[in-house]
Copies of this chain bind each other. A is one copy, B any other.
Amino acid sequence: MQKYTLKDLAKLLNVSVSTVSKSLNDSPEISTETRDRVKELALLNNYIPNGMAQSLKARETKTIGVIIPNVLDSFFAKALDGIETMASSLGYRIIICISNDSIKKEAESLSTFLSARVDGLIISLAKETQRNNDFSHIIKVINYGIPVVLFDRITTQLPCDYVSIDDFKIAKKATLEMYESGCKQIAYLSTIYDTSVDLHRKKGYLAAMKRINVKPCIINIKDYGVFEKNLLSALKRNSIDGILAADELSAIFTIRSVIKNGYKIPEEISVIGFTNGFMGEKFLPSLTTVEQYAGKQGKLSVETLIARIRGELTKKKVSTVLKSKILYRDSTKSLE
């Protein structure tokens, strides 16, 4: 199977490589007659330009590197979907790494992305990276001149653009609304502690508890293997009747554990989660949750990145904070 090059086509047509190249690129320098001959032959021989050679000259690859912590979580799946859709509609390819929350994998993939000369990067930081507060690998990339956009799991310590939601505000609101609907003792539950989003949500929760003057209760669960046990003991110790869970999966696990142990939702315990995924939407009872606009965050990240690549942005970093909202469903009591 021969892969034709410009040289091959040139030889076949008895013209120069320059002429072939210009013809294929619709240069006005070339006569229509020649252009048509070249194009016809190219088509006939299934000529496909070598993108690497083109990129080498053009000094851009039309490729974006994407790093997400995982793809099983519906938030990241939706974000990835948004990223891919927007990128491909703007003519960019996506190369992807799933960090599995490991800083090592994140850093390694950054290296291969750099050598692939991606035009830019979209990253949602690994848990480990946020816990260690170690951004040296990202700084290296930025110093190398590659634009970076962070989303969701972000940090303000880095000189780059980012996209997120108003985690603090919405967590506070969710807590207060559970309180207004009649919950006396609301807990904050998280399996993603040490991430930036968890931090802001927790702070929002704490602010609300302070406002209503109730002692806060934070339930951090390290591992889904001990989820039910930890949750139930916390429940009993503190007679909790409302739970703000930091992500979708932990919210569903909460509902499930609680129901299996005989509690009624929402009558005895209310639950609010984060992320609007199928699971929460279709669960029985369905989950009241914070709409995080995952797809939109993905799309905005791409738009911001590409604008940055094209130099359409001022030096000032752009930080887009989306206003989120609560999707009221069956895991909470009605406010009215």
Q: How far is the CA of A133 from the CA of B192 in the complex (A)?
A: 45
Tell me if A320 counts as interface (CB < 8 A to partner B). no
- Judge whether A282 and B259 touch: CB under 8 Å: no
Given contacts A249-B278, A279-B279, contact A51 B140 (CB under 8 A): no
Tell me if A170 counts as interface (CB < 8 A to partner B). no
- Chain B residue at minimum C-beta to C-beta distance from A142: B1
Contacts of A253 in B (CB 8 A): 282
Contacts of A289 in B (CB 8 A): none
Tell me if A46 counts as interface (CB < 8 A to partner B). yes
- Judge whether A84 and B96 touch: CB under 8 Å: yes
What are 15 contact pairs spanning A and B, CB under 8 A? Answer: A1-B145, A3-B145, A52-B61, A52-B116, A54-B115, A56-B56, A71-B71, A71-B77, A84-B96, A84-B98, A252-B278, A252-B282, A256-B282, A256-B284, A279-B279
Tell me if A214 counts as interface (CB < 8 A to partner B). no
Q: Which of these, B84, B94, B97, B117, contacts A88 with CB under 8 Å?
A: B97
- Chain B residue at minimum C-beta to C-beta distance from A140: B46
Contacts of A166 in B (CB 8 A): none
Tell me if A313 counts as interface (CB < 8 A to partner B). no
Contacts of A51 in B (CB 8 A): 112, 115-117
Q: Which of these, B46, B249, B259, contacts A144 with CB under 8 Å?
A: B46
Tell me if A14 counts as interface (CB < 8 A to partner B). no
Tell me if A85 counts as interface (CB < 8 A to partner B). yes
Tell me if A329 counts as interface (CB < 8 A to partner B). no
Contacts of A282 in B (CB 8 A): 252-253, 256, 279
Closest 6 CB pairs of A and B: A1-B145, A51-B115, A52-B52, A84-B98, A95-B95, A51-B116
Tell me if A218 counts as interface (CB < 8 A to partner B). no
Q: How far is the CA of A253 from the CA of B283 in the complex (A)?
A: 9
Q: Which residues between 35 and 50 of chain A lie within 8 Å of chain B, taking CB atoms?
A: 46, 48-50
Q: Which of these, B53, B56, B81, B259, contacts A50 with CB under 8 Å?
A: B56
Contacts of A52 in B (CB 8 A): 52, 55-56, 61, 116-117
Q: How far is the CA of A109 from the CA of B93 in the complex (A)?
A: 9
- Judge whether B112 and A93 touch: CB under 8 Å: yes
- Judge whether B63 and A71 touch: CB under 8 Å: no
Interface string of A64-94 (1 = CB under 8 A from B): 0000001110100110110011001000011
